[in-house]
């Protein structure tokens, strides 16, 4: 059982299935009705299928509704999916995406209250409370990470330091001087902080830091083990996306075995990414989410592209909210190299199995004489570089074999010195694809 004090909002984590389903169905019917009335795109698509809100009589009826996609937000930029007038909208955020215009998301006052509440529950699940001093190194601004986590931490009663990402020297000073007990950031930025803290000579032993709450990008269990070991903290995975609310969609609890989805606000399905068919619990597929309480932009059956599966066993923490496995990758993250499908997270997992590799890596794709080339650049410890050439070659070979074992493809591994690979202040860029550049053809 949970041994930390529980915030009153967290009691919703422990509803009986009947109580939860009643809340979910009532909210689903309300959100569908609301979208049908206020969002032309949803109404038109439902009408095309001969559907109206009266067709939603059970939770499984959601599967009849049409999907929504990121392109729907882009095509209706900036406010085309808003179901409330701007006078009701108190906050906007935007997600930059990789191409063109960002997607814009809005929140009513009630949406802000829900967001704050799910983030409070998230932090409570990580064992944090009003005694904690939190260094919030998620970026503040249009990105949802900083402000989303900020309001949750404040509502929990913790002391929040809104430091945002970057400025590593100042991060370390604050961590040392302000008695910081918990930090929020992307896992890749925290890796960078680990190195910088170790370089101070005093390391982590004089710090009060005990918990890290990490998310916004894929990371592996091997990366968690590295972080926990090097920093001597507990590292929790949190998940969310701007289109649904921001951080606060799902979180790990003290058991660190899967992420509890806040199902009273987000209805989840797992679908086959190719066919869109709903998959049975336990099968891996694409997470599809329906917001059950969002007012400003209700999202119905939103295709997240995030790949995971539902864990069916109950969690030892006592929460009745179902869990999903760590998001291993995005369906659109897949790179195809010489016809083989590869996800960056597979390469990360393979590399971290090999001793002396550091979790700083980058995958560089190029094309030579019409053939795809994959180079994996990996940083290794300084001591390793001082070692004999034969030892380096040996290490290179081990990594290459580990990658081949996992993805079935021979990659050219290049060992690089510390700090060669650019450090991120937010989400890490793992893949550089030069295959379309004329010079490499
Ligand atoms: O990254 C919201 C967030 C902020 C989540 C802080 C957690 C902590 P976006 O910028 O819209 O929102 O990016 C959302 O990031 O669809 C996933 O592909 C990825 N992602 C987020 N959290 C995780 C995670 C925020 N824990 C996209 N593991 C999502 C893997 C994650 N991927």
Given a contact cutoff of 8 angstroms between Cβ atoms, the answer to whether 439 and 420 are in contact is no
Tell whether 347 and 288 lie within a shared domain: no
Q: Are residues 316 and 427 in the same domain?
A: no
240 CA from centroid of ligand 1 (Å): 5
* Residues 140 and 272 occupy one common structural domain: yes
Total domains in the fold of the chain: 2
Regarding pTM above 0.75, the answer is yes
User: Ligand 1 atom closest to Cα of 213?
Assistant: 8
Instruction: State yes or no: pLDDT of 365 exceeds 80.
Output: yes
**How far away, in angstroms, is 265 Cα from ligand 1 center?**
17
For 143, the token pair is 């990105």
pLDDT of residue 99: 57
**pLDDT at position 4, please?**
59
- Whose alpha carbon is nearest atom 12 of ligand 1? 241
Determine the distance separating the centroid of ligand 1 and the alpha carbon of 126, expressed in angstroms. Answer: 18
92 and 217 share a domain? yes
Distance CA 160, CA 151 (A): 9
Give the chain's mean pLDDT: 93
Residue 241 Cα to ligand 1 midpoint, Å, equals: 5
Residues 23 and 87 in one domain: yes
What are the tens digits of pLDDT across the range 206-265?
999 999 999 999 999 999 999 999 999 999 999 999 999 999 999 999 999 999 999 999
Reported confidence tier of residue 424, pLDDT bands at 50, 70, 90? confident
Kindly report, residue by residue over 1-53, the tens digit of the pLDDT: 445 578 999 999 999 999 999 999 999 999 999 999 999 999 999 999 999 99
- In the listed set 332, 361, 376, which residue is the last one of a domain according to the structure? 332
d(CA 109, CA 91): 8
Q: Does the pLDDT value for residue 358 go beyond 80?
A: no
Say what percent of the chain tops pLDDT 90: 77
Nearest atom within ligand 1 for CA of residue 242: 11
CA-to-CA dists, residue 274 to 158, 300, 303, angstroms? 44, 19, 12
Could you tell me if 324 and 408 lie in one domain?
Answer: no
What's the gap in Å between 385 CA and the centre of ligand 1? 35
Nearest to 139 by CA among 190, 185, 187, 97: 185
> Which run of H or of E encompasses 224?
helix 221-231
Distance CA 149, CA 247 (A): 7
Q: How far apart are CA 93 and CA 107, in angstroms?
A: 9
Question: What are the pocket residues of ligand 1 if the criterion is a CB atom closer than 6 Å to any ligand atom?
Answer: 95, 138, 144-145, 215-218, 237-242, 246-247, 304, 306, 327, 330
CATH code of 370's domain: 3.30.300.30
193 and 101 inside one domain = yes
Mention every residue, 6+ apart, whose C-beta is less than 8 A from residue 169.
Answer: 196
Look at 97 and 40; give whichever has higher pLDDT.
Answer: 40
């Amino acid at each position: 059982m949970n041994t930390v004090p529980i915030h009153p909002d967290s009691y919703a984590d422990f509803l009986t299935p009947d109580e939860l389903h009643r809340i979910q169905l009532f909210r689903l019917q309300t959100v569908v009705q609301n979208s049908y009335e206020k969002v032309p795109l949803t109404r038109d698509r439902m009408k095309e299928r001969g559907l109206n809100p009266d067709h939603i009589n059970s939770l499984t009826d959601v599967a009849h509704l049409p999907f929504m996609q990121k392109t729907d937000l882009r095509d209706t930029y900036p406010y085309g999916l808003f179901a409330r007038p701007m006078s009701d909208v108190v906050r906007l955020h935007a997600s930059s995406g990789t191409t063109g215009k960002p997607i814009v998301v809005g929140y009513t006052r009630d949406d802000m209250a829900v967001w704050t509440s799910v983030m409070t529950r998230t932090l409570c699940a990580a064992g944090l409370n009003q005694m904690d001093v939190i260094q919030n190194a998620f970026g503040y601004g249009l990105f949802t990470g900083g402000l989303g986590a900020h309001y949750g931490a404040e509502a929990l009663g913790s002391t929040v330091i809104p430091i945002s990402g970057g400025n590593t020297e100042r991060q370390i000073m604050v961590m040392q001087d302000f008695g910081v007990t918990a930090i929020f950031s992307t896992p890749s930025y925290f890796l960078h902080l680990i190195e910088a803290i170790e370089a101070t000579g005093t390391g982590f032993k004089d710090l009060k830091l005990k918990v890290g709450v990490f998310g916004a990008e894929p990371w592996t269990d091997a990366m968690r083990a590295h972080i926990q070991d090097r920093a001597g903290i507990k590292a929790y995975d949190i998940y969310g996306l701007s289109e649904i609310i921001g951080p606060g969609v799902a979180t790990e609890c003290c058991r660190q075995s899967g992420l509890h989805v806040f199902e009273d606000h987000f209805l989840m399905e797992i679908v086959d990414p190719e066919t869109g068919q709903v998959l049975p619990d336990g099968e891996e597929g694409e997470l599809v989410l329906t917001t059950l309480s969002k007012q400003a932009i209700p999202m119905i059956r939103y295709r997240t592209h995030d790949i995971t599966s539902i864990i069916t066993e109950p969690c030892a923490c006592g929460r009745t909210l179902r869990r999903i496995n760590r998001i291993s990758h995005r369906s659109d993250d897949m790179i195809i190299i010489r016809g083989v499908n590869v996800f960056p997270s597979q390469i990360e997992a393979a590399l971290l199995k090999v001793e002396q590799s550091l979790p700083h890596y980058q995958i560089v794709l190029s094309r030579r004489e019409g053939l795809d080339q994959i180079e994996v650049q990996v940083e290794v410890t300084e001591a390793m570089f001082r070692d004999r050439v034969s030892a380096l070659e040996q290490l290179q070979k081990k990594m290459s074999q580990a990658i081949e074992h996992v993805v079935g493809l021979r990659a050219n591994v290049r060992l690089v010195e510390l700090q060669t690979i650019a450090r991120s202040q937010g989400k890490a860029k793992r893949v550089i694809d030069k295959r379309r550049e004329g010079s490499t053809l």
